[in-house]
Amino acid sequence: MERKVIETGDGSKTLFIPEMNEQYHSVNGAITESTHVYLNAGYKHHKTETPYLFEVGFGTGLNALLTAVEAEKQKRKTTYTTIEKFPLDMKLIEDLNYGKLISEEAEALFTKIHTAKWGEEIQISEYFKMLKIEADLIAFNFADTQNFDLIYFDAFGPDKQPAMWEREVFDKIFKVSNPEAVFVTYSAKGEIRRQLRDCGYMMERLPGPPGKRQMLRGTKPAD
Mean predicted confidence (pLDDT) in 114-134: 97
| 139-170 tens-digit pLDDT | 999 887 779 999 999 999 999 999 999 999 99
| 126-145 tens-digit pLDDT | 999 999 999 999 999 988 77
Instruction: Write the CATH number of the domain with boundaries 4-219.
Output: 3.40.50.150
| 65-108 tens-digit pLDDT | 999 999 999 999 999 999 999 999 999 999 999 999 999 999 99
Mean predicted confidence (pLDDT) in 7-12: 97
Domains of the chain, by residue range, sit at 4-219
Residues in Cβ contact with 98 at an 8 Å cutoff, skipping those fewer than 6 apart: 12, 13, 30, 31, 60, 61, 62, 65, 106, 110
Model pLDDT, residue 223: 78
105-113 own/partner pairs: CB under 8 Å, 24+ apart: 105/69, 105/72, 106/65, 106/69, 109/65, 109/68, 109/69, 109/72, 110/61, 110/65, 113/61, 113/64, 113/65, 113/68
DSSP line for 86-132: SPPPHHHHTT--HHHHH-HHHHHHHHHHHHSPTTSEEEEETTEEEEE
Question: What does the CA dihedral 22, 26, 27, 30 come to, rounded to 10 degrees?
Answer: -120
**Is residue 115's pLDDT more than 80?**
yes
Residues in Cβ contact with 70 at an 8 Å cutoff, skipping those fewer than 6 apart: 39, 43, 44, 76
Mean predicted confidence (pLDDT) in 23-43: 97
Residues in Cβ contact with 61 at an 8 Å cutoff, skipping those fewer than 6 apart: 93, 98, 110, 113, 114
How would you classify the pairing of strands 148-153 and 52-56? parallel
pTM (2 decimals)? 0.96
